[in-house]
Amino acid sequence: MFGNSLIVVVVRWDSRLHTPMYFFLINLSFLDICYSTSWEPYALAQCFRDFPIISYTRCYAQMTKSLFLGMTECIFLAIMAYDRFVAISNPLRCTIIMNNRVCIQLALGTWASAFLVAVTPITAIPARYCGHNTINHFFCEIQALLKLVCSDTPVSLILDLIISVFTLPLLFTFILISYTRIVVAVLKIHSAEARLKAFSTCGSQLTVVTIFYGTAIYMYLKPQSKEYQEDKVMSIFHGAVTLMLNPLIYTLRNKDVKVALRKLAKGKEKS
């Protein structure tokens, strides 16, 4: 009996204070801050100018940072999905499988691999463009810049291949497989309350994944057209609104936040 009680305590502690989850959330929060500040301040400043101008070097730096941070977030969301699978399917071995060393290695590997995948092809993009080098966008976004290239270069094809095949579909498929296995593991739990708690731990991340990957897949995998207005709106939603919603979505799982929101709602009803 004592052994069974000990197991119950360990499982409950691991499900509530899952250290790897918070470690990756810290990385994701830092990443979202870098992602939003990489282009938003400049874009807001340019709104007050009649003819916004950006140098060639600064435009490439802005585009590179945006692509690098976007790929990093894609990989981190996939790692967090795997971490949730391990936490739910193997709660007693979770801290052994996802120990501190493994988490640090995954984080460093994510930042390094995203940097190499994003930066290496961009260094070979030609400097010759057609027309007046006018970007029909709020900032130097990769697709908006490639539309100015006079011919289809191998580099642009490589970039499209990386984004359209190796980044979005591959990682999104990995996330789908992870959550499918999570659902199978949760359905094997006999207690309805335990199943509900297990699903609730994945709800916030699944919402973030759906919003982030949904907008990214729509932007980069749909056939390219001349409808710049629609692309700009979706790009702003993906790069600003999605990152703004991430902290709100994750904090809604916190009981103190829920209590504060209920008190705020009741206070408005009384007034």
Q: Transcribe 173-231 into DSSP letters.
A: HHHHHHHHHHHHHHHT---HHHHHHHHHHHHHHHHHHHHHHHHHHHHHHSPP-S-HHHH
pLDDT value of residue 14: 39
Whole-number pLDDT of residue 127: 56
In this structure, what token pair is assigned to residue 187? 């359905």
- CA angle, 15 then 211 then 16, to 5°: 10
In the 8-state DSSP scheme, what is residue 130?
Answer: S
Give residue 126's pLDDT: 58
233 burial via Cβ count (<10 Å: 0-12, 13-18, 19+): exposed
* The predicted structure's pLDDT at residue 6: 37
CB within 8 Å of 64: residues ≥ 6 apart: 118, 119, 122
The pLDDT assigned to 166 comes to 67
Tally of residues, the chain: 271
Q: How many whole angstroms separate alpha carbon 193 and alpha carbon 80?
A: 23
Please write the tens of the pLDDT for every residue from 111-150: 998 888 777 766 666 556 666 677 777 778 777 777 776 6
Fold of 2-262: Rhopdopsin 7-helix transmembrane proteins (1.20.1070)
If one counts every other C-beta atom within 10 angstroms of the C-beta of residue 237, the result is: 15
Largest CA distance in the chain: 78
Asked whether the beta carbons of 63 and 122 are under 8 A apart, the reply is yes
Do 216 and 168 contact (CB within 8 A), yes or no? Answer: yes
Q: Domain locations in the chain?
A: 2-262
Give the C-alpha separation, 195 to 107, whole Å.
29
Report the pLDDT value the prediction gives residue 61, as an integer from 0 to 100.
82
Regions of the chain short of the pLDDT cut 70: 1-18, 121-132, 149-166, 222-231, 252-261, 264, 267-271
**What are the counts of helices (DSSP H) followed by strands (DSSP E) for the chain?**
13, 0
